[in-house]
């Protein structure tokens, strides 16, 4: 199984990813995690410089840079799936469409032409940009997008469009305005991760 988690900053995505993986492991599943941007990847230096506002690059270059960071792992993901691992990704190619200010149709066309491995399910953690920004207040450092409400609003609209179109795979939308445990329980229930053994 290949499961992808998507959502804007402040949606609780990474915390839910690790909780989901923990539940899978409790059931004896073999799991491999891929996180994007890849902090140990060959494209990390350029991505980090951009996110920290050390450099400015065009929307098209941003899109291709972040996309390359994800696509580089396609062979590794395929091998993990073939070995029977549950592969979980904290962001995937949908992020490049939602976050980079490139023409929506053009971005989708590029993704489709590359033919990335299709997830079995995309879990979309939905939250309003206002609440998302409120949640991430207090961080010592902010990346380029984290305090930009207008930008997060645009990204949220893109995610909603992708969700409505069921782009690339089956989507599950989960509202994350509720307490973490409630949201986690809903996610787990969809996979019967926490069901009692008969």
User: In total, how many domains does the chain have?
Assistant: 1
In a domain, 196, yes or no: no
In a domain, 109, yes or no: yes
Look up the domain containing 58 and give its range.
2-190
Q: Looking at the predicted structure, is the pLDDT value of residue 160 above 90?
A: yes
In a domain, 195, yes or no: no
Q: Looking at the predicted structure, is the pLDDT value of residue 198 above 50?
A: no
- Residue 116: pLDDT band (50, 70, 90) is very high
CATH of the domain at 58: 3.40.50.300
- pTM (predicted TM-score): 0.91
In a domain, 36, yes or no: yes
CA dist 30 and 26 (Å) reads: 10
In a domain, 197, yes or no: no
CA dist 8 and 157 (Å) reads: 10
Q: What pLDDT shows up at residue 45?
A: 95
pLDDT in tens, 23-38: 999 989 999 999 999 9
């Amino acid at each position: 199984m290949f499961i992808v988690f998507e959502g804007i900053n402040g949606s609780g995505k990474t915390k839910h990813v690790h909780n989901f993986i923990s539940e899978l492991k409790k059931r004896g599943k073999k799991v491999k995690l891929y996180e994007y941007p890849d902090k140990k990847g060959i494209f990390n230096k350029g991505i980090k410089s951009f996110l920290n506002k050390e450099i400015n690059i065009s929307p098209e270059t941003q899109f291709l840079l972040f996309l390359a960071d994800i696509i580089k792992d396609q062979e590794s993901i395929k091998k993990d799936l073939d070995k029977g691992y549950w592969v979980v990704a904290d962001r995937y190619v949908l992020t490049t469409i939602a976050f980079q200010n490139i023409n929506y149709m053009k971005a989708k066309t590029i993704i489709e032409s590359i033919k990335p491995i299709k997830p079995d399910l995309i879990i979309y953690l939905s939250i309003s940009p206002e609440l998302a920004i409120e949640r991430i207040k207090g961080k010592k450092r902010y990346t380029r997008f984290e305090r930009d409400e207008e930008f997060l609003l645009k990204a949220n609209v893109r995610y909603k469009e992708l969700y409505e179109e069921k782009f690339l795979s089956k989507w599950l939308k989960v509202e994350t305005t509720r307490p973490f445990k409630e949201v986690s329980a809903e996610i787990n229930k969809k996979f019967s991760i926490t069901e009692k053994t008969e």
